[in-house]
Amino acid sequence: MIDIKDLDYHHQHCDDPTWAETYFLIFSCPEAAISGNAYILSRPNVGVTLGSVYVHQGICHNTWEADYSDAPMHLPTPEKFSDFTLDNGLSLMGSNNARDYHLRYDGRDGLCKFDLNFKGVMDPFDALDPQHNPMLKSFDSLEDATGADGWTGGHYDLVGHVTGELELYGKKYKIDCYDGLDRSWGPRLEWNGSPVSWIHMGFGDDLAFHLVMTLKMTPKSYESNELRFGYVTVDGETSGVVAAEVTGQNSGMLGTYREVKIRDAKGREWSMFGTAIAAAPWHTAYGSFISFQTLYRWTMGDRTAYSHTTEVIGQTTLGKHFSRLGKGYDK
């Protein structure tokens, strides 16, 4: 069960220098095909924090096409992790039993700023709680169950209504979207972990979905493979996902089309389709990983949503499949 205490640090029982605590919020202005995120990773046992802001418009196959990136890696660790401002101008305050968040950013170069309110449409989903996550019993270890080493200490996720304003290169954009926020803590090596996909479909206050899927590398790209966990929230009540299938198409490593089928623990089923309106590779947060981030326009019957997927793949995994020396290496 997640509560207000989980906004703050959890490292007190552990002096491991790899211990990390994170927040990740993703947001968009669909009308302008703008996608953005804010990512914070703090290592309280080392005393350093990463505060990353990344914004791009449309489809960007190369990192230099993104509109804005600010990701200093060795900022001083804030005393509290529930309410702080980092030296690069990124601020976060959590409230309402970890349902609601206020994020602000005022870049030192004056090119980018935002003021965003995330209001959860649900209570946080605890991926390590068997009452929330029916998939836990299907795996032998927490790392297998979550699909990531950095989530084994704790991990929660929720969909919220994100409102506010983004200013980029002097132009202001209204932010009004439904998308995901997550928070994790535990040892995190920042090394070539198993590829995973982090998927949200937020249709409104009454209906939202989340999936974490493993990825299987293919000769030219990747494809979704196995469900790790997920949830459905309907009118504020959340149910764990027990089966999911994700298929689609990619342009290189960027997702361009997705078809998603979901069944929850109550036996309800949904199908939806997503078409990319913005996408970019994002790897300012970790040198060892690239996140291939896509903003999709989702349709399901007469309903439409705009929210994100992020495929997280280790640089060395990519090298083993696609580099000159690593291509075809199968050990």
pLDDT tens for residues 242-261? Answer: 999 999 999 999 999 999 99
Q: Is the pLDDT of residue 150 over 80?
A: no
Q: Residue 331: its pLDDT value, please?
A: 61
The residue count of the chain comes to 331
3-state secondary structure of 255: strand
Q: Is the pLDDT reported for residue 143 higher than 80? A: no
pLDDT for 330 equals 64
Query: Tell me: the pLDDT tens digits for 292-324?
Result: 999 999 999 999 999 999 999 999 999 999 999
- pTM given for the model: 0.96
> In this model, does residue 97 exceed pLDDT 80?
yes
Q: Which class for 166: exposed (0-12), middle (13-18), buried (19 or more C-beta within 10 A)?
A: buried
The answer to whether residue 193 scores a pLDDT higher than 90 is: no
C-beta separation of 272 from 298 below 8 A: yes
Spatial distance between the Cα atoms of 112 and 106, rounded to a whole number of angstroms:
6
All domains in the chain, ordered by first residue: 4-322 (2.40.370.10)
Q: What is the pLDDT of residues 208-221, one digit of tens each?
A: 999 999 999 999 99
Question: Stretch 118-140: mean pLDDT, rounded?
Answer: 94
H or E stretch including 163?
A: strand 154-168
**Mean pLDDT within 79-98:** 98
Distance CA(305)–CA(323), nearest Å, equals 37
pLDDT attached to residue 96: 97
| Proportion of the chain above pLDDT 90, given as a percent | 87
Read off the pLDDT of each residue in 103-131 and give the average, rounded to a whole number.
96
pLDDT for the residue numbered 271: 98
